[in-house]
Amino acid sequence: AAVIQTKALEKHYQMGSETLRALKGIDVQINTGEFVAVMGPSGSGKSTFMNMLGCLDIPTCGQILLQGEDVTHLPAATLAQMRNKYIGFIFQQFNLLPRTSALDNVVLPMLYNNTPRQQALTQARECLELVGLGSRTTHQPSQLSGGQQQRVAIARALVNQPALLLADEPTGALDTETGLEIMQLFQQLHRQGKTLVLVTHEPDIAEFASRQLVFRDGKLVSDKRSTPACAQT
């Protein structure tokens, strides 16, 4: 079943009198359990595409279906609820709250949907354990390595049990070894049936996914499925 689907998706940016077509007629269906790598040169439309999948920005034309529901024209507040419920975000620079414990960083998305405090703490601890940080729950980001901070961010992205995980260059700020450890964690989540979409510039990272999309000049120029290489350190 499709977690998210785009139909003839277009995004245009108005630059003075010029119109820049950042996405040109993108038709993609991402199914439950897929691990998708999004590739392409700088300026090819990867971030714009991810912003569309994440319901962070509204398309110029075309359609987006999230869990079968047309979200293209939903009001901003409804869209924000859909995002919180269905989508987990992971960033290159982790985007954790400083001077806030790992546990409280992971609790945060559950404050927005009024999860009772005790339940939120339990779920946050479970997610930190899942990413291998069960013994670091009281540490603040500054007391953690880059790889550990990214694990906290992944726990935060998982805590509402989203249908879709979106990661923008999640290994971009990490050394090769630590990046591989993060890819191992993504592969573990993939084996557990999670649906992931990850942007990367590195072909070596894209190999760990089960499907590779390539953008060029706003168009989807390649869409291939492959047996994922195994991330090993």
How many whole angstroms separate alpha carbon 63 and alpha carbon 48?
Answer: 15
CB nearer to ligand ADP: give 46 or 83.
46
How many whole angstroms separate alpha carbon 189 and alpha carbon 158?
Answer: 10
- Interaction of residue 44 with ligand ADP, rule CB under 6 A: yes
Which listed range, 44-52, 106-114, 128-136, 137-145, lies at the site for ligand ADP (CB under 6 A)?
Answer: 44-52
- Interaction of residue 135 with ligand ADP, rule CB under 6 A: no
Candidates 34, 39, 46, 87; binder of ligand ADP (CB under 6 A) is: 46
HEC profile of 34-49? CEEEEECCCCCCHHHH
Site string for ligand ADP, 47-86 (x = CB under 6 A): xx--------------------------------------
CB nearer to ligand ADP: give 57 or 69.
57
How many whole angstroms separate alpha carbon 102 and alpha carbon 166?
Answer: 20
DSSP code at position 143:
G
What sign does the CA torsion over 77, 82, 84, 90 have? negative
SS3 content of the chain, % helix, strand, coil (to 5): 35, 30, 35
Q: How far is the CB of 48 from ligand ADP (least distance, A)?
A: 3
Q: How far is the CB of 125 from ligand ADP (least distance, A)?
A: 32
The binding site for ligand ADP (CB under 6 A) comprises: 13, 15, 20, 22, 40, 42-48
